């Protein structure tokens, strides 16, 4: 019961303002019932749930960016993330570089040059939480260590994501790979592209605690979902360990000399 009161009091704090609390609950409300929605409505309902959850989490990430950097810079960051992510996916789907040879099915619509427009929005929804993790780890928002930590925290999410999306028939690999059917080169591609986007976007100093909440909830929801509803035990264990490292590292107490009221 005390945890419930602590959670309620935290959500009432200044970390959650300007609609972020509403978007957080809207995102959770889209994520949690997806197995039930699929059971009732089939694959179309599942696809609709995926689209809504990406839009809600993406809107939440953008709102946090706007609070940290203002809307003009946020628009620039969003454009950088979306355009670079889409370009990398369009190149990747045609050439196999840098993710390996894969293709999207027609489940996610609309598509631009065979890449669903939802995909770059998925990059947008998880990069700010990864940036927040890296900011907590490195106490910076630039430099090689920050970029590397961001890329690793972001790519850890794909330990869940790619096996899950292939299982749902949203995309497929031309040649199944070593990681539960996913080629290992895919993860090198994720590291490379997410690092490049971070360099180009030059993210601002972010409110780390609420974005760590988003990262941590993603970790928990994905773990429970893959185990209880989708039967993907291997990816669940790997994702739990991979993202879990960054959850624990991100929430560790900060040294006194780098504490601030923003984190």
pLDDT digits (tens, 9 = 90+) for 165-203: 999 999 999 988 999 999 999 999 999 999 999 999 999
SS3 letters for the chain?
CHHHHHHHHHHCCCCCCCCHHHHHHHHHHHHCCHHHHHHHHCHHHHHHHHHHHHHHHHHHHHHHHHHHHCHHHHHHHHHHHHHHHHHHHHHHHHHCCCCCCEEECCCCCCEECCEECHHHHHHHHHHHHHHHHHHHHHCCCCCHHHHHHHHHHHHHHHHHHHHHHHHCCCEEECCCECECEECCHHHHHHHHHHHHHHHHHCCCCCCHHHHHHHHHHHHHHHHHHHHHCCCCHHHHHHHHHHHHHHHHHHHCCCCHHHCCCCC
Average pLDDT, the chain: 90
pLDDT in tens, 130-175: 999 999 999 998 899 999 999 999 999 999 999 999 999 999 999 8
Per-residue pLDDT averaged across 110-119, rounded? 94
Q: Quick check: 128 pLDDT over 70?
A: yes
Q: What is the pTM of this model?
A: 0.92
Percent of the chain with pLDDT over 90: 77
pLDDT in tens, 24-70: 999 999 888 888 888 888 888 889 999 999 999 999 999 999 999 99
């Amino acid at each position: 019961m005390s945890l419930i009161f602590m959670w309620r009091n935290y959500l009432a704090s200044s970390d959650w303002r300007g609609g972020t609390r509403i978007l957080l609950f809207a995102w959770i409300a889209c994520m949690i019932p997806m197995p039930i929605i699929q059971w009732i409505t089939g694959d179309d309902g599942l696809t609709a749930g995926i689209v809504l959850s990406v839009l809600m989490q993406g809107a939440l990430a953008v709102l946090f960016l706007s609070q940290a950097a203002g809307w003009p810079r946020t628009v620039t960051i969003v454009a950088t993330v979306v355009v670079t992510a889409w370009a990398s996916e369009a190149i990747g789907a045609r050439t196999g570089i840098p993710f390996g040879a894969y293709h999207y099915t027609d489940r996610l619509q609309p598509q631009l040059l065979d890449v669903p427009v939802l995909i770059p929005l998925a990059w947008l929804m998880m990069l700010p939480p990864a940036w927040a993790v890296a900011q907590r780890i490195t106490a910076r928002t630039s430099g090689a260590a920050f970029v590397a930590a961001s890329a690793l925290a972001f790519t850890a999410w794909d330990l869940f994501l790619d096996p899950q999306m292939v299982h749902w028939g949203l995309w497929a690999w031309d040649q199944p790979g070593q990681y539960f059917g996913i080629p290992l080169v895919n993860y090198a591609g994720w590291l490379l592209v997410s690092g490049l986007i971070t360099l180009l976007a030059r993210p601002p100093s972010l409110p780390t605690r609420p974005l760590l909440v988003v990262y941590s909830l993603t970790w928990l929801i994905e773990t429970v979902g893959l185990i209880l509803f989708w039967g993907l035990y291997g990816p669940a264990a790997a994702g739990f360990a991979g993202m879990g490292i960054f959850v624990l590292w991100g929430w560790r107490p900060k040294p006194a000399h780098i504490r601030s009221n923003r984190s």
